[in-house]
Chains A and B, each alone.
Chain A
Amino acid sequence: MAEAVHNALESGLEYAVLPLPERHLVSFQLRFLVGTADEPAEFLGLARLLEETLDKGTQSRTGRELADAFDSIGAGRQSGTGRETMTFTCTVLPQHFDRAMELHAEFLRQPTLSDDAVAVNTQLARQELIALEDDAHGLMEKLLARQAYGSILGRHPLGEHETLGRIKRGHLESFWKERFHSGRMMAAVAGAVEPADVAHILAKYFDGLGSPRRAGRDPFSLEFSGRTAHYDKNLEQEQIAVCWPGVDAIHDDFPIQQVTLGILSGGMSGRLFTEVREKRGLVYWVGAWQETPRGAGMMFLGASTTPERCDQTYTTLLREVDRLAEDLTEDELERAITGIVASQETRGDTTRARCAELANDLFFFGRPVPVEEKLAKVQRVSIADIRRYLDEHPRDQLCVATLGPRALGTGIEKNVPPGFAKVAR
């Protein structure tokens, strides 16, 4: 198994390289430790607006010329803004790696952030907020995040109409100048590259980018709020989402949480799919997932169903989590573990997946973590571990949100199984 190289440049830029010489591609991710949680409260949406505006013009090129330059090397690019980070991901043929990095450095270091580009992207963000109203799943995620995570971690990248209206070019420029430093930057590279070449290229293009002082690594506080809310909307289906605090990505119990999710929702034999969909025909979509901001973790259950099946779907979802502590079998446990291990071999065949994993290792663990080390922890998880985990992370404070034509039935709390205290409405 290939070993990753981990180092930091004099500029403070931390990087990791996973050389995969047999591949025909290189993937890299540049991650800045700045996200929506860093936005001033009156300028929500600022971070994503900056991300969208950065590549719309540099000191030497218009936005269109820059996009053309990327296309001329066939770069596959993506960018994103999360709670704590802004990421710029790119996949290219190996001969274009240097050029791809040069072009990234150009817009990350010398953006013009012109008034026109800011105005257009602000307008687009406003329209995306309206478009979100036509996306039931996306809207549900937004509403639940605000409800569950509180005022800092619960922010939506698009911000709000009111706060977007306040953002001016100067705000973007200040936010960029204050936070786009080498000390807040991480680079992960995987594919057909030599680590020494990567170090040289990163130094060539990013040396002298602001302060080398490490920053942006402290977790934000989670303000979990266990309450139930209904958001009325004219939809065919009711969207249901439930969450409660779990553990963060570097917690010793994280592998246990991962396996627990696998048992609930890892494959079609998972409990939620089996009990909610296959046995009862209540839904088409049902699932469980987790989110792990630094220092916090959140477990989620979700489903969408026609309004008349909403109450039964909700109680079945919750019942299945509780039942884990009662009748989990060794076979279920083994299947969940096998699923996690096997996905390393299947998805691991793609360079992009290897790069993404390396980038997450840097962010969460501060080092590349060998796949074997992670899988060994997963493979050690036992039924007793899962019972202990469920016991230590009780679902006595649930955050519940529904979006659609009707709220959960008024008597629904009576049907909530033991372990689920009545939640506030």
Chain B
Amino acid sequence: MIRLAADSPYTLHRLENGLQVVIEVMPGVRSAAAGFLVRTGARDEVPELAGVSHFLEHMMFKGTAKRTWQEITIDFDRMGSTYNAFTSEDRTFYYGWVPSAAIERQIELLADMMRAALPPDEFATEKNVILEEIAMSKDHLEHVMFDFLQEKVFAGHPLAWPVLGYDATVSALTRDQMWQYFQKRYAPDNMVFIVAGNVDPPRVIDYVESQCGRWKPSGAVHSRRPPVVHEGVDVLALDRFKQQVLALTFPSIAATDPNIETAAAAAAILGGENSRFFWNIVQKGIAPRAGAHHLDYADCGVMILFAACQPEQAEGALQALRTEARILCEGRVLDAEVERVKNKRRTTLAIEAEAPYYRLTQLIDDMEYHGRPRTVEESLAEVDAVTADSIQDYVQRCPLTVEAHLTSVGPRKFPDTTP
């Protein structure tokens, strides 16, 4: 067990089987949150198994050697847990947030779930649930847009397929295929157990040892490689939607880059709440919605500038996005602009520091991108380091004036690329 420093809130530990344990003590709170981070996601799948990570996440709630699916959900609810799980391109996370007194029961249940039985008789029923989730996503314009953007921008790479998978791949998936994937990926040497809240670290570690110490490592290694960010124009004409959504995607830096806060600040200045897009695009009536989002993973990142508008506004909206991007790159942001964005980020960090569940989500990123937990003060120092100069350096390194990828989804075939 390693206590990082006498005044550090963190305790780190690694079980013999490779399971990492990270604990943040928050003495002023009445609750605690715990979760298993599994280092697996859609980008670890092969194309024919697209969607297996997410489907597996659902199946993890469907029974263990000790519990049926009903007993799992009943036990969560008996302790008053706020619980769930999510799957992304690069991770799967299972968590529960409970009053501090229930933390050991919470750990026991989560640990039991991680040794899932994947009961064959539940597989077909849950497959229907996943297919319904995919159907639901097709009714959401933004979801359709994001899936299409990933498919085209990251074409030829595992980041190209949707986390939910496709109707065809999910329908064809067998329980045996999922079992093999599960055995390989859900091993202790590919997982991190994270706790935040009003807890006693030695006691938590003893308890985790007792619950997870006998798990066998798999020696799973990641074979992730960074994608090529494609240029070009891709249009998906869907007349059942009323709006046109446009996105310009530019290569950017990875989440592990020391300048990631600078990239986030650039996105906020361009397309945050009180941003250039808001005042120069939305409030000018060019498009009702416009924003900027920095999408990043451990090994790659992109800056996405987007607008949603009436189909007939598409030309103006696209031009406005390009104009604002050019002005940012060619000019210099004001110190006051930078300071405002930093102040908002500071308040956000203070909000996140209040509750164990929010700390848990921050710790996931810390472990994934930095290999260690970081205090709120460390995050604040990174925010403090952002300046007008650093933003200028960033846009020179990752210019938003280059040929980008343009994605367009909506009722109009815009731009019309027909020869």
Residues of A within 8 A of B (CB): 22-25, 56, 63-64, 67-68, 70-76, 91-93, 120, 123-124, 127-128, 130-131, 133-136, 234-237, 266-270, 273-274, 277-285, 304-306, 331, 334-336, 338-339, 341-343, 345-352
Contact = CB atoms under 8 A, between A and B. Distances in A.
B120 interface: no
B353 to A, nearest CB: 7
Contacts, number: 192
B343 A342 contact: no
B354 A274 contact: no
A237 B132 CA distance: 8
A121 to B, nearest CB: 9
A235 B144 CA distance: 13
Given A24-B354, A338-B78, A131 B139 contact: no
B124 to A, nearest CB: 8
B140 A338 contact: no
Q: Which 7 A-B pairs have the closest CB atoms?
A: A342-B80, A281-B128, A74-B343, A71-B340, A267-B77, A127-B288, A269-B73
B132 A284 contact: yes
Contact of A306 (B69, B132, B279, B282): B132
Contacts of B355: 346-347, 349-350
B79 A338 contact: yes
B97 interface: yes
B74 A269 contact: yes
Interface centre among A92, A284, A343 (most CB of B within 10 A): A284
B126 to A, nearest CB: 7
A22 B28 contact: yes
Nearest to A90: B347
A24 B97 contact: no
Contacts of A93: 346-347, 350
Contacts of B343: 71-74
9 contacts: A22-B28, A67-B274, A75-B344, A91-B351, A134-B243, A135-B141, A277-B129, A284-B132, A349-B356
B73 A268 contact: yes
Say whether chain B's binding surface is mostly helix, strand, loop, or mixed: helix
Contact of A342 (B81, B348, B350): B81
Contacts of A350: 351, 354-355, 358
A349 B80 contact: no
Interface in B341-367: 341, 343-348, 350-351, 353-358
Contact of A285 (B77, B81, B136): B136
B289 to A, nearest CB: 8
Contacts of A135: 140-141
Interface in B303-336: 308-310, 336
Given A24-B353, A267-B76, A269-B76, A305 B132 contact: yes
Contact of B288 (A76, A124, A345, A346): A124
A89 to B, nearest CB: 13
B347 A92 contact: yes
B31 A346 contact: yes
Most buried by A among B30, B61, B344, B358: B344
Given A236-B135, A282-B128, A342-B99, A268 B354 contact: no
A72 B136 contact: no
Contact of B336 (A23, A24, A68, A236): A68
Given A127-B310, A279-B125, A346 B132 contact: no
Contacts of A74: 343-347
B194 to A, nearest CB: 16
B202 interface: no
Given A281-B124, A284-B129, A338-B80, 16 more contacts: A24-B354, A72-B336, A74-B347, A76-B351, A93-B347, A120-B285, A130-B243, A135-B141, A281-B129, A305-B132, A306-B132, A346-B356, A349-B29, A349-B31, A350-B355, A351-B354
A281 B125 contact: yes
A135 B61 CA distance: 29
Interface string B279-313: 10011110011000000000000000000111000
A25 B98 contact: no
| Residue of A25, A120, A346 with most chain B CB atoms under a 10 A cut-off | A346
A188 to B, nearest CB: 17
B129 A268 contact: no
**Considering residues A73, A131, A234, A274, which has the most beta carbons from chain B within 10 angstroms of its beta carbon?**
A131
Interface string B59-100: 001000000011001101111111100000000000001111
Contacts of B102: 342
B241 interface: yes
Given A72-B340, A269-B74, A338-B80, A131 B243 contact: yes
B339 interface: yes
Contacts of B344: 71, 74-76
B242 interface: yes
Contacts of A280: 125
B372 interface: no
Nearest to A306: B135
B242 A130 contact: yes
A131 B141 CA distance: 10
B76 A268 contact: yes
Contacts of B203: none
A266 B80 CA distance: 10
B127 interface: yes
A311 B79 CA distance: 35
A134 B241 contact: yes
Nearest to A348: B30
A17 to B, nearest CB: 18
B99 A346 contact: yes
Contacts of B82: 342-343, 346-347
User: Which of A68, A133, A281 has its CB near the most chain B CB atoms (within 10 A)?
Assistant: A281
A71 B30 contact: no
A346 B357 contact: yes
Nearest to A313: B132
B138 interface: yes
